[in-house]
Chains A and B, each alone.
Chain A
Amino acid sequence: MSSDFLRAYGDREGDGMVQLSFTLAILPGDRAREAAKRFAEAHGLKNPLVVTMEQASLEHTYFVVYGRSVHGVDVSQIHVEELGAQSLTRDEIEQAGKKLGRKIVVVGACTGSDAHTVGIDAILNYKGFRGEKGLESYKAFDAHNLGAQVENVELAQRARALGADAILVSQIITQRDCHKENARALHDLLVQQGWRDRVLLLLGGPRIDNKLARSLGFDAGFGPGTVPLEVAAYILEEVIKREAVRQPVMR
């Protein structure tokens, strides 16, 4: 077995220890304990130990189970859509921006019915997130935060009018995959309008990753914990790359 084969690490190498918590629609008792144990076994936990069994409603019981997961993952077999961007410092971004000779226009919004601006605000607003100031604070960027509940049509219109280099879409609400539908609809709209390839399309949110964003037709996806600097670096690199392609040697 290669050393790339990983099992959950609890107390000792390879012990596979994990915890699992859940509720079942059964009242506490020996039957319920056995049900929880079998439920855990069905998830690949060996010798599961039901450490908590408490009644949580008139018909439900809450369980915590510890057990040894028999499963492992071979990391050498994993291929992930890694973001191309290198980690740049704020100064490096500002310098590269100066070289570019113009401000990069970024337009962001929470689209559809999503009213939660916390994500888009964290990335775009001056104040930023975790002590990292947002794109508004960069000289290299001209950032426009359109706020919440912006329809795709409106976002596309504003982005086009502002001459956006990049469109940032934040999707927090994910019930029944509405975030995917919304995002894909924006991509399709831009394709239909014929300018999808002229703009960077970025997706962010707690349930977003790069792979998902790519599958929805976006250029990149940013998940939870993303700081503005990462987004800034990615946009800058991509814009520079695209400018180079667009105007090869013509001077």
Chain B
Amino acid sequence: MAKVPVDVEKVARCRALAADIARDVQSTIDAHTTIGVERTVARAYGVEGADAEGTPLANALVDKIHGAGKTGLGVGYFLGRALHAGASSVQEAAEQIAFGGDSVEVGANDDATSYRQALAKHTDAALVRIDRARTEREGLRSSLTVGAEPLKYVIVATGNIYDDATQAKAAAYAGSDIVAVIRATAQSLLDYVPEGPTTEGFGGTFATQENFKIIRSALDEISKKLGRYVQQTNYSSGLCMSEIAWMAAVERLDMLLNDAMYGILFRDINMERTFIDQYFSRRIIARSGIVINTGEDNYLTTADAVERAHTVLASQFINEAFADRAGLVPEQMGLGHAYEIDPWIEDSFLFEVAQAQLIRQIFDRHPIKWMPPTKFKTGDIFHSHVHDAMFNLAGVLTNQSIELLGMFSEAIHTPLLMDRYLSLKSARYIFGAARHLGDEFEWKPDGRVANRAKAIVDEALELLTDVQRDSIWTSIAAGVFADVKRTRTGGKGHAGVVRRDALYMNPILDVLEGRAKEAAR
């Protein structure tokens, strides 16, 4: 592979600093829960359905507890108590608490140990559900062929899940390895997950458990027809980050957009809320074998891609450290970056290659996610197609793992069927035509590409040193990443962050963290 020089000692220092940064946040994570985490726990225990207005039972249940100021005990505490008192199922327990007038006060005779025991078999069932989906996914995948890297990732975004299924199958036919259904704009700010199949959405289609099922079933169908496994991805981000992670885990999604800091920076979701939610979401993801895609590419859409390249690398180290703390293995960490340098800058292609190659080498076990140009795209679709071709060439040259393909209509509309077809055709051509290009030469040790790579590591190390010294809270408040400033208690969703009570009960998390043994199966 056409390698760039990497100072392994500096990389090790970056990793150590990032680990320290994540450790500092972990103490906050471990001391708190959120209404999002508790809704996830409720869903994992089997709480399902919504009322006539569309309010999910998981929300009604947790809102009731939250309203009484008892979220710090965990939804598990109350479900366990209702089961212990004779509720016939978790669903019945949830309905009793949400609507049936069950008390959400803590009584003097409360017996947490019994409640935990009452939950035990449901805890097992929740984990079995995740494990079974994982086994099924792995079985199907191993019975079919999988595409060669860079994996060709495309998006569909019609707003109607049934049109999405048609588009997804067409994309698979045209050669895509991964299909993402883009979410409806602003779903990340909804503090609930809509219920059922949806046919209306702006900018994309709502992520719902039923919609996940519809796309997975369409992709299973076309995968079997083509003899090639096609992966499905969606968004575990926003205020329902961990609920969606759970839905994806049980509905057999393969990947999830999931970033430790994206919500904070780009959706103005509260910092504490995001860190706590990302942790629980990643605990579920670790168990399910899903591959995450982090969102560092977004930094370069708001900040300058030449000047701020090192912030991407620094953030990747941080995302890696947070993922590691949640139990993900490197093979699950699709760290993100992007081809967003102004294409008219001289040697812009060299700068792009330098960064892509550097990241490939530093994160050598990670399925690196490489994002296409968007910021400098215009309505000139023909030029845009050429721009994407250069991106594809850089991608295959530097052996990126997952490549979200550029669309020549990027600046115009969500991709039409033919836009995607032509994009896939171009990628197929370039990935094939330049397959072993990287094996054939070495970059000049002191050339432009090598020097650019060295400078990025130096700057990332410097930045991580500052962030470690100041803490991530202060650094984000100072606008270190993506030129966006956020405060610790600002942003959306902070009211849903609650300090854990001494009696906090979350047996699922206990198992996921390896602190509790599952009952023998």
Contact = CB atoms under 8 A, between A and B. Distances in A.
Interface of A: 21-23, 54, 56-60, 62, 113-115, 117-118, 121, 127, 147, 149, 173-176, 178, 206, 224-225
B174 interface: yes
B143 interface: no
A19 to B, nearest CB: 10
17 contacts: A23-B421, A56-B173, A57-B170, A57-B174, A57-B417, A58-B222, A59-B170, A115-B188, A115-B266, A115-B267, A127-B304, A149-B189, A173-B203, A176-B202, A206-B411, A224-B379, A225-B378
Contact of A23 (B169, B379, B417): B417
B164 interface: no
Contact of A117 (B185, B201, B302, B412): B302
Given A56-B170, A115-B186, A224-B379, A21 B202 contact: no
B185 A56 contact: no
A35 to B, nearest CB: 15
Contacts of A174: 413
A56 B417 contact: yes
Interface residues of B, number: 33
Contacts of A114: 185
Interface of B: 159, 169-170, 173-174, 184-186, 188-189, 201-203, 222, 225, 266-268, 301-302, 304, 375, 378-379, 411-414, 416-418, 421-422
For the residues of A in contact with B, the DSSP-based class is: loop
For the residues of B in contact with A, the DSSP-based class is: loop
Contacts of B173: 56-58
A147 B159 CA distance: 24
Nearest to B189: A149
Contact of A113 (B186, B302, B412): B186
Contacts of B267: 115, 149
Contacts of B304: 127
Contacts of B422: 62
Nearest to A131: B342
Contacts of B414: 175
Contacts of B266: 115
Nearest to A174: B413
B377 to A, nearest CB: 10
A178 B418 CA distance: 25
Greatest chain A CB density within 10 A among B174, B184, B222 is at: B174
Contact of A60 (B170, B184, B203): B170
B111 to A, nearest CB: 46
Nearest to A176: B202
Contacts of B411: 206, 224
Contacts of B375: 118
Nearest to A63: B418
Contacts of A115: 185-186, 188, 266-267
Contacts of B421: 23, 54, 56-57, 62
A175 B418 contact: no
Given A56-B174, A113-B184, A149-B186, 15 more contacts: A23-B418, A56-B417, A57-B421, A58-B173, A58-B225, A62-B422, A113-B203, A115-B185, A118-B301, A121-B302, A173-B185, A175-B159, A175-B202, A176-B202, A206-B412
Contacts of B412: 206
A152 to B, nearest CB: 14
A147 B302 CA distance: 12
A62 B420 CA distance: 11
Given A23-B418, A113-B202, A224-B378, A58 B186 contact: no
A21 B378 CA distance: 19
Nearest to B425: A54
Contact of B202 (A58, A60, A173): A173
Contacts of A224: 378-379, 411
Contacts of B225: 58
A118 B203 CA distance: 15
A175 B268 CA distance: 24
Contacts of A62: 418, 421-422
A121 B378 CA distance: 16
Contacts of B189: 149
A51 to B, nearest CB: 14
Greatest chain A CB density within 10 A among B184, B186, B189 is at: B186
Nearest to B266: A115
A112 to B, nearest CB: 8
Contacts of A206: 379, 411-412
Contacts of A178: 202
| In the A-B complex, the 5 residue pairs with the closest CB atoms | A57-B170, A113-B186, A56-B421, A113-B185, A57-B173
Contacts of B188: 115
